[in-house]
Each structure stands twice: as structure tokens, then as C-alpha cells.
């Protein structure tokens, strides 16, 4: 049976560089970047995560990204860690997060599910909803 988990997340830190090591904000136009990001979660997901993004910026500011995110904390009252795979586009940000099968530890072993989100602009925190189940 599928259940729903609702939470919000906020950026704790964000470090982004081009593939040749320059600070991303110093390079305009089309570019490839790598970002190391930490998020905090509150709600049905409560904890922190570390994310590694690979991003393609087009000359007009739109772009695409892929990422792996390791969440550690509680998910629907169960504790452990799990890995989300992110695939998306920006501006605006549209992302699909998939819980990678077999990545759960502790009480999150067997967790499966996904989330589809659209985020507009920079905010102090962002809503997120997962449809999930335990196998």
C-alpha cells in the first residue's frame, strides 16, 4: 500500500564550481558545473542530506541536472538513511526524485517511492511530497 509523506527542505550550504574548478557564479553563459549541497528536512522527513549535483547551464539560463542525495534521519517515523536519485530541469526547477531500491539502512531498509516537484524562485524552504511504500 502506498502512503504519502510531506515535508519541507532548506538549503544549509551550496558550493558550486565549473568542471575546470572556477566558481560557478563567475562564469556566464553556457557551462557545466558540479555542486555539493547540504539540505535540512522538517516534517514527515526530518533530518539532513548531502547532495552531489551535475548541472548543464544553457546560454539562456535554463538547464538540466542529475544528482544523488543521501538523506539521514527519520522518514515517516522510521530512522536510517536512504539515497534519492534526482533528474530535472531549471528555471523553473522541475525535478523527479526516486528512492533508489536497496539503498535504505536501518528502519528505512526496503523503502521505495518517488517525488515530483516544481519549485519557483529562491525561498527559505521548499515543500516536498513523497509517495512511498516499504517492501
Q: What is the pLDDT at residue 1?
A: 85
- Give CA torsion, residues 50, 119, 10, 4, to 10 deg: -80
- Give the pLDDT of residue 122: 82
> Grid coordinates standing for 65?
541536472
The pLDDT, as a whole number, for residue 120 is 80
> Rg of the chain over CA atoms, in angstroms?
15
How many structural domains compose the chain?
1
pTM of the model: 0.94
Q: What is the pLDDT along the chain (135 residues), one digit of tens a residue?
A: 899 999 999 999 999 999 999 999 999 999 999 999 999 999 999 999 999 999 999 999 899 999 999 999 999 999 999 999 999 999 889 999 999 999 999 999 999 999 999 988 788 999 999 999 999
Rounded Cα gap, residues 101 and 87, in angstroms: 16
The DSSP call for residue 107 is G
**Which domain, by its residues, includes 83?**
3-134
Task: Read off the CATH number of the domain in which 43 is found.
Answer: 2.40.350.10
Amino acid at each position: 500500500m502506498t502512503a504519502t509523506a510531506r515535508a519541507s527542505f532548506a538549503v544549509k550550504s551550496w558550493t558550486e564550481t565549473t568542471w575546470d574548478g572556477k566558481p560557478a557564479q563567475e562564469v556566464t553563459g553556457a557551462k557545466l558545473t558540479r555542486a555539493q549541497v547540504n539540505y535540512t528536512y522538517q516534517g514527515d522527513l526530518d533530518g539532513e542530506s548531502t547532495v552531489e549535483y551535475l548541472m548543464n547551464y544553457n546560454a539562456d539560463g535554463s538547464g538540466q541536472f542529475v544528482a544523488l542525495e543521501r538523506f539521514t534521519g527519520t522518514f515517516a517515523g522510521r530512522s536510517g538513511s536512504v539515497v534519492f536519485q534526482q533528474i530535472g530541469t531549471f528555471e523553473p526547477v522541475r525535478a523527479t526524485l526516486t528512492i533508489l531500491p536497496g539503498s535504505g539502512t536501518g528502519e528505512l531498509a526496503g523503502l521505495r517511492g518517488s517525488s515530483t516537484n516544481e519549485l519557483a524562485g529562491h525561498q527559505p524552504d521548499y515543500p516536498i511530497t513523497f509517495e512511498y511504500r516499504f517492501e
